[in-house]
Amino acid sequence: MPDAVSLIHVKRDNTRPLTDEEIHWLFAAYARGEVADEQMAALLMAIYFNGLDGPELRAWTGEMIASGERLDLAGLARPAVDKHSTGGVGDKVSLVLAPLVASCGAAVPMLSGRGLGHTGGTLDKLEAIPGWRASLSNSELGTALSTVGAVIAAAGSGLAPADGRLYALRDVTGTVESIPLIASSIMSKKIAEGVTALVLDVKTGAGAFMARREDALQLARTMVTLGEEHGVRTRALITRMDAPLGRAVGNALEVEEALAALSGDGPADLMEVTYALAGHMLELAGLDGDPAAAIASGRALDTFKQMIKAQGGDPEASLPQAAHRQGALQAPSDGWVTRLDARAVGVAAWRLGAGRARKEDSVSYTAGVRCLAKPGDHVRAGDPVVELYVDDPARFGPAIAALSEALTIASEPPPVAPLIVDQVGD
């Protein structure tokens, strides 16, 4: 019979891989309270330094999935496919993508999260819509998928509950930044959703969690492997996150921009990523849809409105507006914007109130940043490059301070770089 201290020694000293049986015992004993939080935290730290090999990670993820329920989507008339993003600044792709892919014939059960730090959360954005609710029962989720074809909701506590406990420990012990633990955390919930296909949007660059491209690639490969090992057709795109995606950063501001995108007036960079992900989702689902035609015809926007109604929201209601706005980050000279640092813009939005420092913090739905110019745009000396939105004007100062080194102006325009930089998976 294994014991916690022995398993900690094995991973601490990196003497051998943990066996499937040992990992099974560990999760069962942790659930029974026989393994203490401090012992699990010590093991997570050992994993942070020494990793998990392929068989260990497969077993670890399998136990996280088995710790809770698994959604049964087999009764749906449509093929079920989902997308997950590792998070970025201005990344409102999910708001456009879920109804878009559903309007092309798929079922999209998108279980999403909330923002933390400089990255925004899909649920926070949608909660800016009056009446909309994130929490749905499994029955409500199934009904929405059957009737509308798309749902964006909070993952229920019954899906991979072990992940919630482990993430809370990682959050307070400095072990969040572990590729195998990140991969297992994401994929355990996505696999438990019951989809047959999954497309991952792994961000890289200044505003991404994985700033280095090689780290983003390693995370993508790890997640694709886990998905395939657990019977989910999985593909990952590595996408650039050096500048904010689109021009709006903040909850209601991003919903407004997503509605513009669904109406055929979306920013080019947002649509580039959205159409790329939609194409891969439809391919993996075995569907021959045309995302551009779905937007041009109004089908995607209509599906969005149905999705909002199905979750108690009023898609025709006015979005909340900030009480104060102010131009900021004046261009020091005439020229071309070659850099607008995504992380700095994300931190500014967070300081305005759009994000949270801790999971239990509340957010402002009206606060945020609008990018008046982005890389590739020409500006005149003195032009504001961003506009800040806030209810409490005392927050302007800290937000402006976050932007002090965010901008680069040059005499020549920057080279055009594709946002899709790599692909992992067939």
CATH of the domain at 197: 3.40.1030.10
Name the residue with tokens 């999209």.
Answer: 108
Domains contained in the chain, number: 3
CB atoms within 10 A of CB 341: 22
Residue 352 belongs to domain spanning: 324-410
For 296-345, what is each residue's pLDDT tens digit? 999 999 999 999 999 999 999 999 999 999 999 999 999 999 999 999 99
Q: How far apart are CA 291 and CA 105, in angstroms?
A: 11
Same domain, 286 and 344: no
Q: How far apart are CA 261 and CA 280, in angstroms?
A: 19
For residue 118, indicate whether it is catalytic: no
Which of 185, 190, 201, 242 is catalytic? The answer is 185
Q: Is the confidence at residue 248, as pLDDT, over 70?
A: yes
Contact 130, 313 (CB under 8 A): yes
State the pairing for strand pair 335-340/378-379.
antiparallel
Same domain, 253 and 158: yes
For residue 305, indicate whether it is catalytic: no
Same domain, 91 and 134: yes
Among 95, 158, 151, 97, which Cα is nearest to 121's? 95
Q: How far apart are CA 272 and CA 420, in angstroms?
A: 8
The pLDDT value recorded for residue 84 is: 96
Same domain, 389 and 247: no
Q: Stretch 180-185: mean pLDDT, rounded?
A: 95
Contacts 24+ apart (CB under 8 A), 358-363: 358/116, 359/114, 359/116, 363/115, 363/124, 363/251
Q: Is residue 57 part of a domain?
A: no
Same domain, 105 and 13: no
The pLDDT value recorded for residue 117 is: 65
Q: Is residue 119 part of a domain?
A: yes
Q: Is residue 315 part of a domain?
A: no
For residue 165, indicate whether it is catalytic: no
Q: Is the confidence at residue 206, as pLDDT, over 70?
A: yes
The pLDDT value recorded for residue 119 is: 75
Q: How confident is the model at residue 181 (pLDDT cuts 50, 70, 90)?
A: very high
Same domain, 125 and 265: yes
Among 88, 39, 391, 113, which Cα is nearest to 248's? 88
Q: Is residue 94 part of a domain?
A: yes
By mean pLDDT, which of 106-115, 242-251, 315-324, 351-360 is the weakest? 351-360
CATH number of the domain within which 357 lies: 3.90.1170.30
Hey, what are 208's tokens? 């991404």
Same domain, 219 and 336: no
Which of 58, 78, 84, 343 is catalytic? The answer is 84
Same domain, 121 and 237: yes
Burial 47-77 (b: 16+ CB within 10 A, else e): bbebebeeebbbbbbbbbbbbbbebebeebe
Which of 91, 163, 242, 269 is catalytic? The answer is 163
Mean pLDDT (the chain) is 95
For residue 190, indicate whether it is catalytic: no
For residue 133, indicate whether it is catalytic: no
Same domain, 222 and 329: no
The pLDDT value recorded for residue 116 is: 65
Q: Is residue 86 part of a domain?
A: yes
